[in-house]
Amino acid sequence: MKEQRDIATPSRTREILAKHGFTFKKSLGQNFLTDPNILRNIVAAGDIDQDTNVIEVGPGIGALTEYLARAAHQVVAFEIDDRLLPVLADTLSPYDNVSVIHQDILQARIDHVLQEQFTNDGRPVKVVANLPYYITTPIMMHFLDSKVEIAEMIVMMQKEVADRISAKPGTKAYGSLSIAVQYYMEASVAFIVPKTVFVPQPNVDSAILKLTRRPQPAVDVINEKAFFGLTKAAFLQRRKTFWNNLQSYYGKDEATKAWLQQSLKEAEIDPIRRGETLSLEEFARLSNVMEANKK
């Protein structure tokens, strides 16, 4: 593997963009990292080594891909922008353990990708991505909903979104997104990435969020769909009480109100609380009681 100059320096990034005549598409939320230290820290945060297989989303011109290729056993990168395919073929040519797939990750069957791309060697699969702000949540939920064994996700996103995902009950940032992710994964912010290290420079700082899959979901629920429905209901309008939001979501007829009141009583949850004060355990307890009380 011949050594080459890092892709992720301002001068080399400019050189690559000029060579290929590449222009940024705002609609794809493209912001390329130009700081090798940040890339080293991302690889370190994910504990990426020769015993790791990696799925990368949105490799851009290959700045992070290069660091992943140097550290990991194998890397499969999904790139939606066909204009970047020849760029990646050029910049990643020294690395024979990288495959680039031209596909929208949201359309990909993750289970098929794992079977086709990675040798069945028992190595853990980790997702590493610098996600466009406008599509951060759908991409994360796509991986979580796929039910495939993703050991960890190391994801760069808008700092505000990372704060929401890792938020604890009783904080302003806590909401249905926090619960949806923390049900499957342990979430923590690894470090902040200043907006100054990107080309073009975004308007806000980013954060690296580390998500580690739990051996089993954080709480035991009878019906996952009903549980997630309940957590969405709780945050319909943050200023309203839990009771008002439940009525808005489930209905205000007498039978529904009686069902909700009985369930809240059995689950020992005060209806005048606000949704953001309830823990995952409390949501699970109420969801299970509601299921049991369904007529």
Binding-site members are 31, 33, 58, 79, 104, 130
Distance separating alpha carbons of residues 287 and 231, to the nearest angstrom: 9
Please give the helix or strand (H or E) that residue 42 lies within, else none: helix 36-45
Binding residues for S-adenosyl-L-methionine, as ranges, are 31, 33, 58, 79, 104, 130
Place of tokens 């660091």: 67
| Torsion angles phi and psi, residue 151, rounded to 5 | -70, -45
292 CB contacts (<8 Å, ≥6 apart)?
A: 222
Question: 86: helix, coil or strand?
Answer: helix
Distance separating alpha carbons of residues 136 and 226, to the nearest angstrom: 24
Strands (E), the chain: 32-33, 53-57, 74-78, 98-101, 125-130, 150-158, 185-193, 198-199, 206-213
Structure tokens at 231: 């957590």
- Please answer whether residues 152 and 127 qualify as being in contact, where contact means their C-beta atoms are separated by less than 8 angstroms: yes
Fill in the amino acid letter for 142: H
**Cα four-point dihedral sign 5, 11, 14, 15:** negative
Distance separating alpha carbons of residues 36 and 90, to the nearest angstrom: 19
How, if at all, do strands 125-130 and 150-158 pair?
parallel
Q: What is the DSSP string of 242-269?
A: HHHHHHHHH--SHHHHHHHHHHHHHTT-
